[in-house]
Amino acid sequence: MKYKIVMFDVDGTLLNTRRQLSNETISAVRQLRSHGVTSAIASARTPYNIGEWLQALQIDTYMVYNGCLVIHEGAVLHQEMIDPVMAHTLIDDAVRRRHSVMPEGLDRFSLISEQPDVIIDTYAKAWDHSRRVPYEDFHQPISQIDLFCASDEVAPYISAYSDLTFYPWVSRPNAFNVIPKGVSKARGFELILQKMGISREEAVAFGDGPNDLEMLTFAGTGVAMGNAVPELKNRASYVTRHVDDDGIAHGLRHLGII
C-alpha cells in the first residue's frame, strides 16, 4: 500500500511524557515529505498553542479543537462553533456548580474560575497567555469549551447537553473538551482527504486517547501508541511502542513509510 498522508495526535503521540518532541520523532516525521507523504496534525489544543510543533515538523495542514477548526496548507478549510446560546448556558451552569470553564475561540480564550491560578498551573501553564481575555471581553464564536470537574460530576452535563460531546483529557484528570456533537477528528480528517483527493485506504492515523478513536477507525490504517488507552489499542490496526520509546518512528518504519 502506498500511503499518501499521516495524521498525528499531539499530546501523548508526538509529544512525549515530558511534553517534548524527541529528535527521533522530528527526524521521522520530516522524512515523510521526502517520501511524498503529507504530514498533518489533529489536536484538541487551540490553534495558538501548537505553532512551535508545526514549525519544527514543517507541517501546514492540521486540525484543532478536536476537528472544529480544520486548516489545509495554511488556509481555513472548515470551522464549527458551539451554538452561542448553548455555550453560554453551559458556562452559566458550570459557574453555578462552582466548576471552572475555558471558552476558546479562533485566536483567544477566557477562564472563569474560583481558582484561576490553580487551573492555569495544572492545565494551561504553557499556553500563550497573551491570548487570554476577561470573559466579559470575550466576543468570539466558541469552538470548544474546556470544562474542569471531577469525572463523577460530568454526568449531569452529558445528560443536559445532548448536542455536545464531552471528551476526557488523557494528559490530565478532571478535564473535558466540549465540542458540538457530530464533530470529531475523523470528520476533520475526512474533509482534508476530500480536499486532497486521497482515499481512506491511503491514510494513516496515530493517536493515544479516547478522542482519537473515531480518527483511527476512519483511517485505512490506525496506529495506537504503546501508551494509548485500552479501547484504542483494541480497535487499532497496529500498536506501536510507547511515546517515550520513539513510538512514532517505530510505527512509521513498521508500516514501511520511511
Work out the average pLDDT over 239-243.
Answer: 98
101-159 pLDDT tens trace: 999 998 899 999 999 999 999 999 889 999 999 999 999 999 999 999 999 999 999 99
Backbone angles phi, psi at 143, to 5 degrees: -90, -35
Least confident of 21-25, 86-90, 168-172: 168-172
Whether 3 has a pLDDT exceeding 80, the answer reads yes
What predicted TM-score, i.e. pTM, was given to this entire model? 0.89
Instruction: Give 24: exposed, middle or buried? Use CB within 10 Å, 0-12, 13-18, 19+.
Output: middle
Which residue ranges form the domains of the chain, and what is each CATH number?
5-79+183-254 (3.40.50.1000), 98-180 (3.30.1240.10)
Name the pairing type of β-strands 38-42 and 221-224.
unpaired
